[in-house]
Amino acid sequence: MLSAYMLAFCRMVMGIMFAWSFVGKVREGRAFEQTITRFEVLPERWSRLVAGLVLGGELAVVIAMIIGGPFLAWGFLMGAGMLIVFCCALASVLARGLQTSCGCFGSTDKAVSSMDIVRNLGFVVCAVGGYSTSTITQNSLTVSDTLEWGLVGLAGLLAMMFVAVWTQVGEINHLFR
């Protein structure tokens, strides 16, 4: 039964994190396209297409986390894949010494740092854990009594807290320097 609650936690983390990221980018409009251009990984003419693909992928992960069932494992895999691609793009920016913001959760003045990669890798671990757990539990979480509803609610609360803290891991690291 513990694996079912672990699955609920990972599912909610991925859903919340990708929803937050999606909303932050959509709210900023063209700023996300400009962020892609400033990464200097792809030709500028592809920035709009890539921005649309990223937003579509993030929304697809959120929908997969909400619907669950046969879409859940694919949502975890897609989320992990996107996060790994984002890590590669961030590593490329750092390796080339570019001074630009990440834009992962909307516009910011903070330059890309190695902590952005650490943050994404933490979410990759959650996605892989969710995928692994979803194959073990067969996506089944039947909530039949008040205690089980409470545990699912606790998993959701912990997921929200985890996302709120883990997305700020760079700031937390900066405090301890």
What pLDDT does residue 138 have? 61
What pLDDT does residue 71 have? 93
What pLDDT does residue 104 have? 82
pLDDT tens, position by position, 39-76: 888 888 999 999 999 999 999 999 999 998 889 999 99
C-alpha torsion sign, points 119, 122, 126, 128: positive
The pair of three-digit structure tokens given for residue 76, joined into one six-digit string: 């975890």
How many domains does the chain divide into?
1
Is the separation of the CB atoms in 65 and 83 below 8 Å? no
- pLDDT for residue 148 is more than 70: no
Is the separation of the CB atoms in 27 and 88 below 8 Å? no
What pLDDT does residue 84 have? 97
Taking the whole predicted model, whether its pTM rises above 0.95 is answered as: no
What pLDDT does residue 3 have? 78
- What is the distance between the alpha carbons of residues 112 and 100, in angstroms, rounded to a whole number? 6
What pLDDT does residue 144 have? 55
- What is the distance between the alpha carbons of residues 165 and 42, in angstroms, rounded to a whole number? 31
List the domain range (segments joined by +) for residue 128: 2-175
Q: Point out the least confidently predicted range of 32-36, 72-76, 168-172.
A: 168-172
Helical H segments across the chain, by residue range: 2-28, 31-38, 47-67, 70-95, 114-137, 146-166, 169-175
Return the SS3 of 102: coil
pLDDT tens, position by position, 82-140: 999 999 999 999 999 988 888 888 777 788 889 999 999 999 999 999 999 988 776 45
Confidence of residue 1 (pLDDT cuts 50, 70, 90): low
- pLDDT for residue 164 is more than 70: yes
What pLDDT does residue 63 have? 96
- What is the distance between the alpha carbons of residues 41 and 50, in angstroms, rounded to a whole number? 11
Confidence of residue 143 (pLDDT cuts 50, 70, 90): low
- pLDDT for residue 145 is more than 60: no
